[in-house]
Amino acid sequence: MGKVATSICVFLLFAIVGAIPIAMICLGAVRFDQCPMEPWVPKFMIVAGAAGLVTLILSMCTYGCSQGDNAGVVTCLSVLIGLVTLFTFAWNIAGSIWVFKKWSNWDNVKGTPQGCHTDLYLFAFAYLIIFWISCPCQLGSGAKARNNGASSA
């Protein structure tokens, strides 16, 4: 497969992956005042979605710059990705506190004015479960990539 075809495939993959943070932002914004049991849940969704989009955009820029002789730009973008990733990790810890502490009472308040919009709350819950399950896998793949880079040098 040529460079152009590979680039198109990578950008299509980025577009597909970008649907999740866009959905988070939209759902959090549309249902912003519909979670009285924990008002931070919609805020969590908006900020987590925005951080996901920023990471995605920075990753696309890094990929584009890595195709040429832009080592300095790639390094700068990689540092920015690392900072946004650290923020996302910390924000997901906070989101876990806001979402998971209310789970035991969820059945008693869902569908009531004291509850939280079902789609909003369950999306945040599912997102956090998937994040915490995939987090060790992401860390492991990063360590493996660094090992492969060090052993091939």
Record the pTM.
Answer: 0.81
pLDDT value at 72 more than 70: yes
Where helices occur in the chain by DSSP H, the ranges are: 3-17, 19-30, 40-66, 71-100, 106-109, 118-152
Are 48 and 140 contacting, i.e. CB atoms less than 8 angstroms apart? no
Mean pLDDT of the chain: 86
Domain ranges of the chain: 3-152
pLDDT digits (tens, 9 = 90+) for 15-38: 888 899 999 999 999 999 999 999
CA dist 80 to 12, 39, 63, Å?
23, 29, 14
pLDDT value at 68 more than 80: no
Q: How confident is the model at residue 136 (pLDDT cuts 50, 70, 90)?
A: confident
